[in-house]
Amino acid sequence: MGEPILQVHGVSKFFGGLTALDDVDFEVSCGEVVALLGDNGAGKSTLIKCISGVYRPERGQIIFDGHVITGHTPMEIRGLGIETIYQDLALAENLDVGANVFLGKEKKRRWLGLFPITDDEFMRRESEQALDKLDIHIPSLRQKLVNLSGGQRQAVAIARAIYWNAKLIIMDEPTAALGVPEQRKVLDLIRTLRQQQIPVILISHTMQDVMDVADRMVVMRRGRVVANVPRREATVDLLVKYIIGAEEMA
């Protein structure tokens, strides 16, 4: 395993009187798939939102790829190479696949050498190559996102992350709303990312998914990290005990 590319040191986040994150330490190394586990309300989404810049922690420091990113904006953090795929995906339903891969970074050309217009053909061609690389086939890239299945949308979100050379991909419950074949596809994509040395943080309540793809499991409970378990030591039974608080940290 490589050097840590992400280091979270002593991060705390409060919402009014509620402590959502309590002195959290967390690391991810290159080429590693880390599962983030915990019961509802444990603080998983809050932690990744602190990493992706949606929330600013009250205490602690986050370092990514040599940069202190604590308090940076989501745009700045995306610019450094962290792509977060939220459950609601933040894709544009009424645009086609190409436009979604380029969302916020549209390619323009000049019509008649004068007026800037978006270069849809270029964006579709590039998107097709990105999807091919991931072995994903979408019948027509002219399809609007609303007409794609949940799994195809996940794939578009992942293709976008790859196209823009993400150095870390965070997925919050990527398979929760998917059918079985689509879930497998997303898990295959996570394995492809690992082969390409791109680290992934995977939040999932599905133990089987976690056991299938994760190299390491970090369990949160009531805003604290309560376990950090390498895959070879993990069993569903042990993880569940940590999640429900029946096992103290070894």
Ligand X SMILES: Nc1ncnc2c1ncn2[C@@H]1O[C@H](COP(=O)(O)OP(=O)(O)OP(=O)(O)O)[C@@H](O)[C@H]1O
Residue among 5, 33, 44, 201 that touches ligand X (CB under 6 A): 44
Distance (Å) of CA 90 to CA 59, 85, 154, 243: 28, 8, 11, 29
Chain residues 70-89 in contact with ligand X, contact rule CB under 6 A: none
Which CB sits closer to ligand X, 40 or 94? 40
CA distance 238 to 52: 29
The reply to whether 46 sits near ligand X by the rule CB under 6 A is yes
In the list Mg ion, ligand X, none, the entry touching 11 (Cβ below 5 to 8 angstroms by class) is none
Asked if residue 221 binds ligand X (CB under 6 A), the reply is no
Report the residue number, 134 or 229, with the smaller CB distance to ligand X: 229
**Quick one: 90 or 117, whose CB is closer to ligand X?**
90
Give the Å distances, CA to CA, from 164 to 92, 95, 98, 100, 168: 17, 19, 13, 12, 11
Name the minimum Å distance from CB 7 to ligand X: 20
Strand 82-85, strand 168-172: pairing: parallel
Assess contact for 154 and 89: CB atoms under 8 A.
Answer: yes
Taking the complex as a whole, the smallest distance from the CB of residue 229 to ligand X amounts, in Å, to 17
User: What residue 43 binds from ligand X, Mg ion, none (CB within 5 to 8 A, per partner kind)?
Assistant: ligand X
The minimum distance between CB 38 and ligand X, in angstroms, equals: 5
Closest CB to Mg ion among 3 and 88? 88
Nearest CA to 220 among 28, 57, 21, 18? 21
CB closer to Mg ion, 48 vs 131: 48
CA atoms of 63 and 57, how far apart (whole Å): 13
37 binds ligand X (CB under 6 A): no
Q: Binding marks (x or -) toward Mg ion, 24..63, rule CB under 5 A?
A: ---------------------x------------------
CA-to-CA separations, 79 to 84, 105, 240, in angstroms, rounded: 12, 11, 36
Applying CB under 6 A, does 53 fall inside the site for ligand X? no
* Chain residues that interact with Mg ion, rule: CB under 5 A: 45
* Chain residues that interact with ligand X, rule: CB under 6 A: 15, 18, 20, 38, 40-46
